[in-house]
Amino acid sequence: MTDKGKVYLVGAGPGDPDLLSVKAMRLLQTATTVVYDRLVSPEIMQCVSPAATQVYVGKTTGHHTLKQDEINALLVRLGRSGQTVVRLKGGDPLVFGRGSEEALALAQARISFEIVPGISAAQACAAYAGIPLTHRGLARGVQFITGHPREGDEFHLDHAALSDPGQTLVVYMGLANVSRIANELISAGRRADTPAAIIERGTTTRQRTLLTSLEQLPNTVRIHAVESPALLVIGKVVELAEQLSWFTPAVEDGRRRYA
């Protein structure tokens, strides 16, 4: 590896700055440059040193500030310039965050790097909504899937793998395909009345939790005008949200709502 600069691929968690690791906080306060995504909350960006250069590379559907290969090249270029670079990503960099692609680019360019884990949205958002991902008698396992296929790929769900009612299903980036996701899961054998939750802007003061059923999931998204970032949780464990809800967002518009 080159001894010039170093790139830290850092997980920022889903939004609450109190969920940052000690190492992540230290790096935000000492980095030369911070390259950050759209899903990194404004509250977390306030933790960045005022002396650091901030570079936004956020993506939305159909609009990328930089394409992924351009982000990879930017990180290589910054690393070669001798800087201490934080590549700040929402959630965990290796859970649907493309952090491994960026790490491979750095490794191939012989740029020194480290991966700093973050709390994934599935863990944190579900916990803040009072939903355990596993619970004895309700869910013996959990599956994470993405509802957004790679550009150019056809959207496809593995029906056999996702039909088990004993498995909680957490869908990242599922809003655009929510109707197809619900219909295909029901066709695969999931009961239409399976409890489901939508957690919008989880762990932040703008969190909104909508409790519904698998069959009504698309209507709930539409009626309540749910916006990204939002996580879908499907399974019997969602029933426990009524009893285990503990987090009250600080602003009225973000309070829990039920479908």
List active site positions: 37, 59
Cα-based distances in Å from 241 to 6, 77, 199: 42, 46, 11
Cβ–Cβ < 8 Å for 75, 4: no
